[in-house]
Chains A and B, each alone.
Chain A
């Protein structure tokens, strides 16, 4: 076996140029594939952060009827207690209680339908980082005569409002009575999602709770959990604890995002499999050429009594060594490349416009170390598959024919 590996290794370097060409092809193929994969993953993460991190959170809890009729009367019984109990769980980082209902926002000459969210500013900052999304103004810190409101950039443009503008919100209280309340725009936030910006306004929970007539009101609890992969289990567990509420996780709330991420994951694997397959065909061709060139020598080996199985293994080993050689260098280079890009960031071509929309214009690719090992395994499997045909060709040589000199 040792000699077999030694012979295989030396055989690889007989035609140095050819071996180096295929090894470089493997290296470049892997680097390209891994770059693509890492960029896709970064995009995926970015999208997830944009939507789940700042808007949806991992899990949301509501009164079951609230989902169809987002009105002030559908509150979570004992909502504050539940929120505080949940935030004490080990697997929950933060639980933000909110008072949520639909209403109208009007300036002197324009109005728009909005979703009003009454929040605890401190907890909300931990949950969605709302305080960091402000473009102008401040984060519900003023305690003026007129209560403060935060509105989205898109809404501000739509109804002609600016920091300092007066807004009138119209909504129903818990009894269904129509209420008008005046607010002053304290800050304007900005998010990638225009629809969210246009529809969602934030005020202090204490202000709206008083207005709707229930100081303890909670109609939504948003949860940020510790282990993102556990969202389904945790949601199910919480649902069981509070059967009178409706508990939904982010995949329920954003099915389109969920499926697009799933598709991305699939695509990722296929990109790499296609790259590795292409590389394997190159490898097959290289090995086949070297077999055909060495027909007499291989025939001689068979003639003097080297078993076909041994000759077969020799060729499989040769192929595998080339694949491993290129694979290891390719993965180390890829790792270096991804590490550097992770620090410098990769600007998305034409991404300046995205930046204005609030989307990231620079991606920071990164990959799990496991991923690299998986690629080595896939590469070696494909290399072995690619070596089977040339190896089979080699052992089909008839020694008497191969050694015959005409």
Chain B
């Protein structure tokens, strides 16, 4: 299996006013192509920080993040913008969507920034919305969608441009159980069908067992790394 992400001694120390906080502590991990991984751990264990580091949203204090053969830890700001746009899909806990755009326009947005052709963009957006079960909501704005539906649009957007991998930071944190399961099922299915590497963080016991690999963080360090066949 091809390695997509590789971290070496990845460390992030926040210099807060009280005392320095080691949010991520010497993490050495590899993520293979097509993996479906959950990063779990209690609140404050460093999940968000870790995802931000491998997503190029934050700079490590020490160590490296290699995406394929590119070291993004020292990449220039302007290059990182482009790198994220071309290679990484993001799903956040909330505020994922542009409120003034319809579901379809939101799903097309990344492709639009990538300067895809209009026809291709439209086709793919509609196809992705079908995949997440929202073919009825193509022309609806986010405010008219439920929380679960909004997250599904965000997943559709993250996957539509076929990035190298997708990072989802606590995507189910604001959802009820049914919507949470539904979202994870969709993510799991798309991970298989589209063969896109997917990493999500959660402290929600309900959805951990959907992942095929579970990495547990404690105080910023990896304490368990388990693989399941499911």
Contact = CB atoms under 8 A, between A and B. Distances in A.
Contacts of A393: none
B192 to A, nearest CB: 24
B188 to A, nearest CB: 22
Given A296-B95, A310-B113, 12 more contacts: A7-B98, A7-B101, A10-B101, A297-B98, A301-B98, A302-B81, A305-B83, A305-B84, A305-B113, A306-B113, A307-B82, A405-B94
A93 interface: no
A14 B100 contact: yes
B100 A3 contact: no
Interface of B is mostly: mixed
Interface string B75-104: 000100111111010101111101111000
A304 B58 CA distance: 13
Nearest to A295: B95
A167 B48 CA distance: 106
B52 interface: yes
Contacts of A306: 81, 85, 113
A403 interface: yes
B48 A404 contact: yes
Contacts of A3: 105, 112
A166 to B, nearest CB: 88
B81 A405 contact: no
B95 A14 contact: no
B142 to A, nearest CB: 11
Interface in B18-39: none
A305 B58 contact: no
Q: Categorize the interface residue count of chain B.
A: 20 to 34
Interface of A is mostly: helix
A65 to B, nearest CB: 79
A17 to B, nearest CB: 17
Most buried by A among B96, B110, B169: B96
A328 interface: no
A232 interface: no
A287 to B, nearest CB: 16
B10 to A, nearest CB: 15
Interface of A: 3, 7, 10-11, 14, 296-297, 299-308, 310, 399-400, 403-405
B96 A308 contact: no
B28 to A, nearest CB: 22
B145 interface: no
B140 interface: no
B170 A304 contact: no
A7 B100 contact: yes
B93 A297 contact: no
Nearest to B93: A405
Contact of B110 (A14, A299, A304, A308): A304
Nearest to A306: B113
A304 B100 contact: no
A297 B78 CA distance: 20
24 contacts: A3-B105, A7-B100, A7-B101, A10-B100, A11-B100, A296-B95, A297-B99, A300-B95, A302-B81, A304-B90, A304-B110, A305-B82, A305-B83, A305-B86, A305-B110, A306-B81, A306-B113, A310-B113, A400-B57, A400-B58, A403-B95, A404-B48, A405-B92, A405-B94
Contact of B84 (A10, A303, A308, A404): A303
A403 B92 contact: yes
Nearest to A305: B85
Nearest to B143: A14
Contacts of A305: 81-86, 88, 110, 113
Nearest to B48: A404
B4 to A, nearest CB: 18
A296 B95 CA distance: 7
A303 B57 contact: yes
A379 to B, nearest CB: 25
Contacts of A10: 100-101
B173 interface: yes
